[in-house]
Amino acid sequence: MAELLKKPELLIPAGDAECLAMALQYGADAVYLGAKTFGMRASAKNFDFAAMAQAVQDAHAKGVKVYLTVNVMPRCHEMDQMPDFLREAAACGIDAVIAADLGVITTLRSILPDLPVHASTQTGIVNYATATALWNMGVERVVLARELSLEEIAEIRAKTPPQLALETFVHGAMCMSVSGRCLLSEYFTGRDANRGACAQSCRWRYHLVEEKRPGQYFPIGETEEGSYILNAKDLCMLPYLKELYQAGVTSLKIEGRAKSFYYVAGMTNAYRAAIDALFADPPKEVPTWVMEELEAVSHRPYTTGFYFGRPDDSIHNATASYVRTTEVIGIVQDWREGRLYLSQRNRFFAGDAVSLLCPHEPPRSFCVQDLQNGEGESIASANHAMMDCSVAYPEPVPKGAILRKAADEERM
C-alpha cells in the first residue's frame, strides 16, 4: 500500500440544524445528513430542500463538505420518484450522495454523472472484488461493513484502485446485523429498518418461551433479569485511529443522526483533538481529557467491535442502560464584560461545580458565581427550561459553547 500523505477526514452526523451547527463549530471535516425522505433515520428531524441548501451554504463557508444519505432500500413506486428527488437534492449543492441500492447508484450515474457517489455500509462491502466492482460503476468511496477487521481492511486497500476512498465507522451504535440489513424491526412492529424506521428491536430484553409452556419465561443467560442477546455495545475506536489510517481508511465516521447536539459536539471535539494530535508534525500524544470526554455523553458501554478479529461475548451489552458522566445545563448565547449569558437546558444552582465545553480545547471547570435571571436579578437557581440567565465568568467564551455539570444518575 502506498504511504498515505494526509490525515483522515472526520465525518460527523447532522440529524438537524442544531446538530449541524455543533458539527461545524467543533471541527468536522464533513457532515452527513438526510432529507425528509429516502434516508435511514426517519426519527431524526432531517432537512427539507430549503434547509438543505442553507446547510450546504453554512458548511461550505467553513470548508466543510456535505454528504446526503439516500441509503434506503426503495420499492418500485419510490424508484419512480427518485430521479426528481436526486436532481432537487443536487441543486442544493451537496458534495456527494451516500447510497446502498444499486438502482439508486446507477440512476445517479445516469442523470447526475458529475455528482460523487459513496456506497453505504448497507451495501455490505466485505471484500476487494465488491469494492472494485462499485468503483467500476462510478462509486468514488465505499463505506466498509462494520464486521471487517483491520487486517481485512488493509487487504481491501491493497487490492482496490488507489483512488477509491475507504470509509469506516469509528464510534457509535452498532446494529444487531452489523452492516444494517436487519429484519427484526419490521417483523415485530411493521417498521422497516431498511427504510429508515427502525424500532431498535435488538435493544429489547428477551426471554425464551417453550411451545408447550405458554406464559413461562426462561432467561437466556445466567440471571432471571433476562438477556439482551442482540444488544451490541457502542463502538469506540478513538485509541486506535492510527491503526485504522495505516490500514488504509481515509474517512473516520461517527454514527448518530438520531443523537443529541451535545453528543455531536462532544464527540466531534474529542475526535478532532485526537486526530490533530496523532497527525501533527511531529505526532503528539492524545490528551488525557479526550478519553474522558468519551464518557461525558450518553452512551452504551464501549467495544472495538470486529476490528481486532471476531469478538467474544464482550461485544454484547447486558442491559438497556445508557451511561454518562455529565448533563447539559445551558448553551452559551454571549459573553461580555465578565458575564456568560446562557439559555438554560436543565436546572442548576448558584455554587454548582460546572464545566464549559468549548471548541478545540479541553473543558474549563469553574464554580457558578453571581447567578442572575434575564432581567439581571440575583437568583438561587435556574429552574425554568430555556430561561435566559447569566453567571460571572472572567474569560471570553464563544457562542454555542456548552455548560454542563456532573450527571446525577445513569440515563435509561
**How far apart, in Å, are the Cα atoms of 82 and each of 36, 37, 52, 71?**
13, 10, 17, 12
Q: Which conformational region is residue 305 in: left (phi greater than 0), alpha (psi within -120 to 50 degrees), or beta? A: left
pLDDT digit string, tens, across residues 121-157: 989 899 999 999 999 999 999 999 888 999 999 999 9
Averaged pLDDT, 215-234: 65
In the predicted model, is pLDDT for residue 313 greater than 70?
Answer: no
- Categorize the per-residue pLDDT at 358 as very low, low, confident or very high, splitting at 50, 70 and 90: very high
pLDDT category of residue 8 using cuts at 50, 70 and 90: very high
The residues with which 32 forms a beta bridge, in sequence order, are 13, 67
pLDDT for 219 equals 58
Phi first, then psi: what are they for 220, rounded to 5°?
A: -95, 85
For the chain, give the percent of residues with pLDDT over 70: 86
Q: What is the mean pLDDT of residues 385-402?
A: 96
Lowest mean pLDDT segment, chosen from 19-23, 73-77, 223-227, 353-357 = 223-227
Which residues neighbour 164 within 8 Å (Cβ) at sequence distance 6 or greater?
131, 132, 135, 139, 140, 141, 142
User: What domains appear along the chain, each with residue ranges and CATH number?
Assistant: 9-174+232-315 (3.20.20.380), 326-406 (2.40.30.10)
312 secondary structure, DSSP code? -
pLDDT value at residue 3: 46
Enter the pTM of the model.
0.87
What is the pairing mode between strands 117-119 and 234-236?
Answer: unpaired
Amino acid found at 272: R
Residue 349 burial class via C-beta count within 10 angstroms: exposed 0-12, middle 13-18, buried 19 and up? middle
For 21, the enclosing helix (H) or strand (E) is helix 17-26
According to DSSP, residue 299 is labeled: B
End-to-end CA distance of the chain: 45
Confidence of residue 206 (pLDDT cuts 50, 70, 90): confident
